[in-house]
Structure 1
Amino acid sequence: MQDKIVSLHAQQIIDCKCRPAVEVEIRTESGAIGLGAAPTGTSVGMYEAFVLRDGDPSSYKGLSVHTAVDKAVNIIGPALIGMNVFDQRAIDEKMIALDGTPDKHNLGGNTIYSASIAAFRAAAASRRIPLYNHIAGGDIRTVPVPCFNVINGGRYENFTQSFNEFLIVPHGTDSIDQAVEMAVTVFNHLGTVLTAYLGHKPQVASSYGYAAPSDDPALILSMMRRAIDECGYRGKISFALDCASSEMYDAATRTYLLKGERVTSSALIAYVRKLTETFDFVFIEDLLDENDWEGYSRAVRELPRTIILGDDLTVTSLPLLRRAHQEHAVDGFVLKPNQVGTITEAMDAYRFAADHGMIAVPSGRSGGVVDDVVMDFSVGLQVPFQKNGAPRSGERIEKLNFLMRANARSPGCRLYDIKPLLRF
């Protein structure tokens, strides 16, 4: 197929945390239009593609992206005009070559990725089909099980909860509508459980889940289990964790913060093993520091009741996924295309993982946008589950509506059956 790019426009918009982001619009000869905007994370791996910001303290405290917009219009635009919008690899490789750095430092990973999404969407628009059908190469048969970040860890006034995200996974159904209802019901009731424990309503955390009430992960998981049981969903909703342990790692002592104390990698793995023997975990993400390869290999061996995922360790990077496979460091990875900076590189990482028995879990970022292309990845690649965030803010609710719409518009489609993947 052939449809040439005829124009590229860009501007600054804001994400769900009111931080500036680059939005790129690409138009083709046939009149097709594609929009793309790169989300950004709060927990960011050191090997992720560079996010180009202006650094002007007088504008959004240095976070504005006017420089990135200028580079999209004046450098990327002229290079892409005339290219075939269906040749995604050629488009992405052209931008990578224009940048010329390993981490996309010159043009910005956010700039390149926004243009990459815009081209991808314009190609689907040119075919007049949803992007997820363009990715799937036809009709879809499943939509992924959404995983909900209901309690957020981090640094609070009187304590630090070392684990970043406590998640629920509603898998005991074949209906996406029922899975969403189950999760929303438990999330709302969890507020009541937390209120009873705290003596007041829980705070809303920065990622829109409930603020952690304690530095003890087991206590938090017990309250989550109580909410699940009281809603009648025992055995139908399980747990997941995103530890984001690089945030709590001290390189000088090679220790992690856990319940107010510094512990070794081995001690952290041993503690989490006890959690997995008490609670049923679908997956545990970023259990260790992004450079603790030996620790990850040990975790895979010593935590047989859950799937070990890399995020900061793997950053959707093909070379890092190859290493992870060779060293048996993870069972799968969190697919965040903006980490690597182009659609093509993200797809190459996915295909390598799929070919080598590794699970890919698409995820939005904390600084999300309403039309996050990661949803098209989730549905088009027909993955088992995805990370969705808390069912509270607009762009996260839209992700749930996206799944329900895609399912309703695809005859014979159902929720992915993840039971064969569960290890508990």
Structure 2
Amino acid sequence: MNSKIKSVHARQIVDCKCRPMVEVDVVTEDGCLGRGCAPTGSSVGMFESCVLRDNNPDEYHGLSVHKAVDNVNNIIAPALIGKDVTRQKELDQIMIDLDGTPDKRNLGGNTIYSTSIALFRAAAKASHQTLYNYIAGGSIQTVPVPSFNVINGGHYENLTQPFNEFIIMPYGASSIYEAVEMGINTFQELEKVITSYLGYKPVVAPSYGYASPSEDPEVNLNLMSEAIENCGYTGRIGFAFDCASSEMYDRQTNTYLLKGDRVSADTLISYVKKLTEKFPFVFIEDLLDEEDWESYPKAHKEMTCTNLLGDDFIVTNLERLKRAYECNALDGFILKPNQVGTITEALNTYEFAKAHNLIATPSGRSGGVIGDVVMDLAVGLQVGFIKNGAPRSGERIDKLNFLMRACDLTPGCALADISPLLKF
């Protein structure tokens, strides 16, 4: 086997929201191809690795990525060609050193991450394994429970819903096939329930869920509960929030938006705590601002009926997760490798979480793609549950199909049992 890198080549393509992104091909001397691209999010933490764009207003409104493509072809490629593709840590470190900045600002986090994925996939190909089995170090035993983003918050014409995502999770499903069907059936039934509530069909939101019918989170949860009950799934589907509170946080007044009012962190914590005592919440993500280190430990201490996870708060950064663990701020984090910029750094953060009994929840980004590497990570790392997005657009459906396919192709594979993680 000759696993030395023969070529590294990048191009510009577009994500599901028609925003340009970098795609990289890595080919070994044996002809093994690995391909990677870097989706980006809508809710982006201030500590994420830099997404390098051209800022040319004449092309894609400034979002083109030709500089990033050139950085791969002219700077990264010469440094990697001839190296052994299976030495992921060394190759990622070469790119980190070439960039020389904490947030990968020189070459671009999207540049480095796309290359890192391509290297990872080429290494799996060279070993004649699926990437998820390559990650697992053998055959997988389970696939994670999917979760579904069904109602989207944000600013709408007649209201603002401060919580970004209202999520359902079929934790009581007997198989991945039933879990997918439960999520889809509930999502489709929810449209009817919201239509009855509003008197007209809900709008499709930018993240493909239904636009929030109310600025009151509890109204949305009641509508979701009604849809679940109509489908006969009560007691088998739980809830989750991605609050994305940094998006609605006012630094000058140190307040958060809630039902049209500005409130303190303590008030927000108290309100969400009551919701978790009334509804079956699997997790609450980004309850507070990404720099609210003072309030997160309070929230974690008070909210005993759910798991508190950090996304923008942690940005898959090992040092931030260590700090959160030391001050007892969280139960876990959202694993988004592009936030930190290489597969190696993302896996280092995951390993710390695993060693300290913290939950790691892989998630795609809003600007998703077919064949997102996050699914290989989710299955290969054998996590309990993941974030899939709304069951509506192709790249999100692809994630569901990935889980069913991986399960079918692996004799004895089952849906993960997440009952030990539930606190309600």
> Above 0.5 in TM-score?
yes
Equivalent in the alignment of 2:24: 24
Contact 1:174 1:416 survives alignment (8 Å): no
Match of 1:347? Answer: 347
Q: CA deviation at 1:348?
A: 0.1
Partners in 2 of 1:326 and 1:276 — Cα distance?
A: 25
Give the distance between the partners of 1:295 and 1:157, measured in 2 at CA: 32
Partner of 2:262: 262
**Structure 1: distance between partners of 2:341 and 2:213:** 36
Q: Is the 8 A contact 2:50 2:103 kept in 1?
A: yes
- Does residue 1:172 correspond to 2:168, yes or no? no
* CA distance in 1 between partners of 2:269 and 2:2 (Å): 52
Which structure 1 residue ranges, 4+ long, deviate > 3 Å from structure 2?
none
List aligned pairs for 1:16-415, cutoff 5 A: 16-415=16-415
Q: 1:127, CA displacement in angstroms?
A: 1.4
Aligned residues: 424
| Separation (CA, whole Å) in 2 of partners of 1:344 and 1:2 | 22
Residue by residue, what CA displacement relative to the aligned partner does 1:231-277 show, whole Å, maximum 9, x if unpaired? 00001111000000000000111000000000000000000011011
Query: How far 1:2 moved relative to its partner?
Result: 5.8
CA contact 1:88–1:344 (8 Å) conserved in 2:
yes
Any conservation in 1 of the 2:52–2:110 contact (CA below 8 Å)?
yes
Residue identity over aligned pairs, in percent, reads: 65
Paired with 1:98 and 1:420, the residues of 2 have a C-alpha distance of: 43
Name the SS of the counterpart of 1:174 in structure 2: coil
Deviation at 1:129, TM superposition (A): 1.1
Contact 1:2 1:85 in 2 (8 A): no
Normalization by structure 1: what TM-score?
Answer: 0.99
Q: SS of the residue aligned with 2:386?
A: strand
Contact 2:154 2:164 in 1 (8 A): yes
How far apart are the structure 1 equivalents of 2:22 and 2:44? 18
Question: Matches of 1:31 and 1:158 in 2, distance apart?
Answer: 56
1:380-400 CA distances to partner (integer Å, 9 max, x unpaired)? 000000000000000000000
Name the SS of the counterpart of 1:151 in structure 2: strand
**Cα distance between partner residues in 2 of 1:261 and 1:283:** 24
Paired with 1:82 and 1:6, the residues of 2 have a C-alpha distance of 6
Structure 1: state its 5+ residue gaps.
none
CA distance in 2, matches of 1:391, 1:384: 19
Please list the CA deviations of residues 61-106 of structure 1 after superposition, one character each: whole Å capped at 9, or x if unmatched: 0000011001110000000001110000000000000000010000
Task: Give, in whole Å, the separation in 2 of the partners of 1:148 and 1:46.
Answer: 25
AA in 1 matched with 2:104 = K
| Structure 1 position 160, deviation (Å) | 0.6
Deviation at 1:56, TM superposition (A): 0.3
SS at match of 1:12: strand
Letter in 1 for 2:163: F
- In structure 2, what is the Cα distance between the partners aligned to 1:2 and 1:230? 57
Q: Matches of 1:83 and 1:153 in 2, distance apart?
A: 46
CA distance in 2, matches of 1:174, 1:68: 45
* CA distance in structure 1 between the partners assigned to 2:141 and 2:153 by the alignment: 35
| Whole-Å separation in 2 of the counterparts to 1:155 and 1:330 | 28
Q: Is the 8 A contact 1:147 1:385 kept in 2?
A: yes
Shift of 1:320: 0.4
CA distance in 1, matches of 2:231, 2:138: 38
Aligned counterparts of 1:411 and 1:378: Cα–Cα separation in 2: 18
Contact 1:39 1:338 in 2 (8 A): yes
CA distance in 2, matches of 1:121, 1:215: 43
Output the TM-score relative to the length of structure 2: 0.99
Letter in 2 for 1:413: C
Indicate if the aligned counterparts of 2:2 and 2:30 stay in contact, CA closer than 8 A: no
Which amino acid counterpart does residue 393 of structure 1 have in structure 2? S
Aligned to 1:353, the other structure's residue is in SS state helix
Alpha-carbon offset, residue 174 of structure 1 = 2.7
Contact 2:2 2:28 (8 Å CA) reproduced? no
AA in 2 matched with 1:338: N
The one-letter amino acid paired with 2:409 is R
Read off the aligned partner of 1:316 and give its amino acid letter. T
Please, which runs of 5 or more residues in structure 2 have no aligned partner? none
